[in-house]
Amino acid sequence: MGNWIVNNGLSAFILVAWMGINIFIFVWFYLSYDLGDQFFYTRHLLSSGLPWARAPAAVLNFNCMLILLPVCRNLLSLIRGSFMCCSKTLRKQLDKNLTFHKLVGYMIALMTAVHTIAHLLNVEWLNNSRQGAYDELSTILSQLEDTNSTSYLNPDPQQIPTRFAFSSIAGLTGVIITLALILIITSSMEVIRRNYFEVFWYTHHLFIIFFAGLVFHGAGRIVRSQQRTNPLHNVSYCKDRSDDWGTLPECPIPQFAGGFPQTWMWVIGPMFLYLCERCLRFIRYMQKVTYRKIVMRPSKLEWHPFTMTSAPEEDFFSVHIRSAGDWTNKLIDIMQQLPEGAQGPNVCFPRMGVDGPFGTASEDVFDYEVSMLVGAGIGVTPFASILKSIWYKFKDSDPKLRTRKIYFYWLCRETHAFEWFADLLQVLEKEMEERGMGDFLTYKLYLTGWDQSHTTHVMVHFDKETDVITGLKQKTHYGRPIWDKEFEQVRKENPTSAVGTFLCGPEALAKVLEKKCAKFSDVDPRRTKFYFNKENF
């Protein structure tokens, strides 16, 4: 249990706190509308539909305030920089921004469904009350005249409920934001994101319509409550004397008014922050980018097509782009049509927009004495940046470098995928040996797919000093790592260290490594602890 808390304790606390706030808001507003005297007559018309509509609305306000914050990447990077002096565990929560974004989205979807169903029932009950389908009090409340918009309670005119739903401000905006939300959620499914990313991307921008409709949704002030007037209409005394309203001094005609719209107050701040975010990113996008070199590499294995692979110390940035669809295939065709070695102002390069930089989990690699880097397929590319950065830091003798040992694992299915990255490892291997630090970097490459011809070739050249695939002194392993063995070795070699375990790869491997981090972390705070970190695609 203690090991689990090391990696997941703060995340669990944040989740419990968020859920607790949601439950508190729901219960508080439910009881307010279910027990408040000012809503007695409203409840008489709507029954339990009133609290079941208003409580989810309050929860929606809270979560709509949160939904934009996890995708403000500049804001998260700013916070991450501010937390550099704080706990690694605290900063690690920022890497779960998309997970939290999804959780908030699920809550919005659930509360929207409850809110919508409750109001559909409310519209039906209001219409029935006006037609005298219920008791005498309901009929009288529905027939109160609209005198300067102060005395009526039932907002439903004498028309069918469907027409009322599509003609009122609340009804029309409700339909619009509900349809927008349905499209946003359905297009966010993983199968859509992976195979039809543009559908996901463009449909997700319906959030603009969603928030615009949300702000105006309460402008009609349909849900009305009794107002304090002089003389006061005493509900307890007058509710059974509806025939005498307006004649008894104790029972004047009750006065009602719609509640002040509050949603805009919840979302205006996050909407402003997100607008600033997009403006800043647009300004970055407009900066001029000059091509220095274009190289065609072997195929990549993951679904995300863009990964930056250069180090911060370099005076350029490099990006690996996979042919993963129509857009990237067309880009590659354009690049292949350019003359070899083409450069200069007369060459018509495609215009490139650059956004960022944004903070990620990999920034924390240098805050650990020992780091385990695990890349699967193209998941190795972020670690290319890290290993390059380490190389530059050693060359410059950076005094801030705390890292004294790195274990690097790369799992790949095809031999030719090793080619482009092997060059970098060869340079690092030679650099470390020349500096007498050959033990600083331990790397293991795993080939998880091969055929018979490849096996025969390896057996023939088994006695070579370098690997037949990569040309490195470290021989390629075949199959998958035995993670229990690897973690046990790291713990044995670093008995008192905090070990940062970083993964860029599939979710299935993430679950395995997270369990191993918990399993091999020592309960004794003075012994080895493994902290799991995962790059978001």
Specify the DSSP element, H or E, that contains 265.
helix 263-285
CB-facing half-sphere around the CA of 531: CA atoms within 13 A: 25
Looking at the structure, do residues 110 and 9 belong to the same domain, yes or no? Answer: yes
Looking at the structure, do residues 380 and 261 belong to the same domain, yes or no? Answer: no
In angstroms, rounded to a whole number, what is the distance separating the alpha carbons of residues 152 and 254? 9
* Residue 429, domain CATH: 3.40.50.80
Looking at the structure, do residues 383 and 260 belong to the same domain, yes or no? Answer: no
Residue where the block lists tokens 């543009």:
198
**What single-letter amino acid sits at 442?**
T
Contact present, 190 and 506 (Cβ < 8 Å): no
In the prediction, which pLDDT does 297 show?
Answer: 62
Contact present, 381 and 307 (Cβ < 8 Å): yes
Contact present, 41 and 144 (Cβ < 8 Å): no
Looking at the structure, do residues 84 and 219 belong to the same domain, yes or no? Answer: yes
In angstroms, rounded to a whole number, what is the distance separating the alpha carbons of residues 369 and 383? 17
Phi, psi of 308 (to 5 degrees): -85, 135
Spell out a b/e string for 296-335, using b for 16 or more CB atoms within 10 Å of the CB, else e.
eeeebbbbbbebbbebeeeeebbebebebeeeeeeeeeeb
Q: Range of 145's domain?
A: 2-228+252-275
Asked, for residue 477, whether it belongs to a domain, the answer is yes
Asked, for residue 354, whether it belongs to a domain, the answer is no
Looking at the structure, do residues 267 and 379 belong to the same domain, yes or no? Answer: no
Looking at the structure, do residues 261 and 405 belong to the same domain, yes or no? Answer: no
In angstroms, rounded to a whole number, what is the distance separating the alpha carbons of residues 274 and 330? 32
Alpha helices by DSSP H, listed for 95-219, are 97-130, 136-143, 161-167, 169-187, 190-195, 197-204, 207-217
In angstroms, rounded to a whole number, what is the distance separating the alpha carbons of residues 439 and 433? 9
CA 333 to chain centre: 33
Looking at the structure, do residues 61 and 194 belong to the same domain, yes or no? Answer: yes
Looking at the structure, do residues 375 and 495 belong to the same domain, yes or no? Answer: yes
Asked, for residue 350, whether it belongs to a domain, the answer is no
In the prediction, which pLDDT does 2 show?
Answer: 55
Phi, psi of 396 (to 5 degrees): -90, 0
Contact present, 523 and 2 (Cβ < 8 Å): yes
Q: Which has the closest alpha carbon to 288: 345, 360, 372?
A: 345
Instruction: Give 20-62 pLDDT, tens digit per residue.
Output: 999 999 999 999 999 988 899 898 888 889 999 999 999 999 9
Instruction: Give 503-528 pLDDT, tens digit per residue.
Output: 888 888 888 998 898 888 877 777 88
In the prediction, which pLDDT does 209 show?
Answer: 95
Looking at the structure, do residues 410 and 504 belong to the same domain, yes or no? Answer: yes
Domain boundary among 215, 240, 275: 275
Strand locations in 223-304 (E): 224-226, 256-258
Asked, for residue 27, whether it belongs to a domain, the answer is yes
In angstroms, rounded to a whole number, what is the distance separating the alpha carbons of residues 270 and 64? 9
Structural domains counted in the chain: 2
Looking at the structure, do residues 10 and 145 belong to the same domain, yes or no? Answer: yes
In angstroms, rounded to a whole number, what is the distance separating the alpha carbons of residues 530 and 533? 10
Looking at the structure, do residues 185 and 42 belong to the same domain, yes or no? Answer: yes
Strand locations in 310-365 (E): 319-321
CA 10 to chain centre: 17
CB-facing half-sphere around the CA of 66: CA atoms within 13 A: 21
In the prediction, which pLDDT does 460 show?
Answer: 43
Asked, for residue 235, whether it belongs to a domain, the answer is no
Spell out, as residue ranges, where the chain has pLDDT lower than 50.
301-303, 457, 460-461
In angstroms, rounded to a whole number, what is the distance separating the alpha carbons of residues 26 and 56? 6
Domain boundary among 214, 243, 275: 275
Asked, for residue 174, whether it belongs to a domain, the answer is yes
Looking at the structure, do residues 403 and 513 belong to the same domain, yes or no? Answer: yes
Asked, for residue 320, whether it belongs to a domain, the answer is no
3-state secondary structure of 347: coil
Q: Beta strand 306-308 with 256-258: parallel, antiparallel or unpaired?
A: unpaired
What are the DSSP calls for 422-470, one per residue? HHHHHHHHHHHHHTT-TTTEEEEEEE----HHHHHHHHHTTT-SS-TTT
Asked, for residue 11, whether it belongs to a domain, the answer is yes
In the prediction, which pLDDT does 159 show?
Answer: 58
In the prediction, which pLDDT does 454 show?
Answer: 54
